[in-house]
Amino acid sequence: MNTKTKTILGIILFAAFLGIAYFAYAALSSNYKTNNENLAEKSTSQQEVKKIPAPDFTVFDAQGNKVKLSDFAGQPVVLNFWASWCPPCKAEMPIFNEVYADSKNDIVFLMIDLVDGQRETQAKGQQYVDDQGFSFPIYFDNDQEAGSAYKISAIPTTLFIDSDGNIVSSNQGAINKEALISGIDSIKK
């Protein structure tokens, strides 16, 4: 075979490869979209049927009294995990304080300070809240029971628990006011 024939044959094989790749991509893409749409339909219907019970835990109030999530049974709960050294946590705290002032009669706010005894202590968390003048109640996860129960891997994390004790939704990372209000609306009856 001469060079010209090899070049033409190479171009034809490359064009065939591109054609096959295009049709395979198109077929897989349409199949992927169909599968995702089916998954979305299934997960929507499963969410309506399958409820995720919120694990109970024990934390401590500023006076050292034990407080359990189950103490608030029958009430909708906003559960927020934070620490005073966390910039995104600090950014969302004024939003929580504002919404708490408007919603405290209808919603329980459990603002859980993840105390590790080193980077975060109860004294540091309490001092931060006092310095900022926040009015929401804070609780301290001194034994890391709450963080473990919810497998908290990043803070801030906020969960919305309905009055039946089921997790309705969650938000990892700093939350804005609209998302916080939307989450609260999803757990109000």
**Any long-range contacts for 118-122 (C-beta under 8 Å, 24+ apart)?**
119/83, 119/85, 120/83, 120/84, 120/85, 122/60
Q: What is the pLDDT of residues 171-186, one digit of tens each?
A: 999 999 999 999 999 9
Q: What is residue 1's predicted lDDT score, i.e. its pLDDT?
A: 73
Q: What is the pLDDT of residues 140-162, one digit of tens each?
A: 999 999 999 999 999 999 999 99
Spatial separation of the C-alpha atoms in residues 56 and 162, rounded to whole Å: 14
pTM above threshold 0.85: no
Q: What is the pLDDT of residues 59-93, one digit of tens each?
A: 999 999 999 999 999 999 999 999 999 999 999 99
Under CATH, what is the fold of the domain 52-187?
A: Glutaredoxin (3.40.30)
Spatial separation of the C-alpha atoms in residues 115 and 147, rounded to whole Å: 10
pLDDT > 70? residue 52: yes
Q: What is residue 83's predicted lDDT score, i.e. its pLDDT?
A: 97
Mean pLDDT, residues 131-139 taken together: 97
The domain spans of the chain are: 1-50, 52-187
Among residues of the chain, what percentage have pLDDT more than 90? 71
Supply the mean pLDDT for the chain.
86
Candidate from 10-14, 62-66, 103-107 with smallest mean pLDDT: 10-14
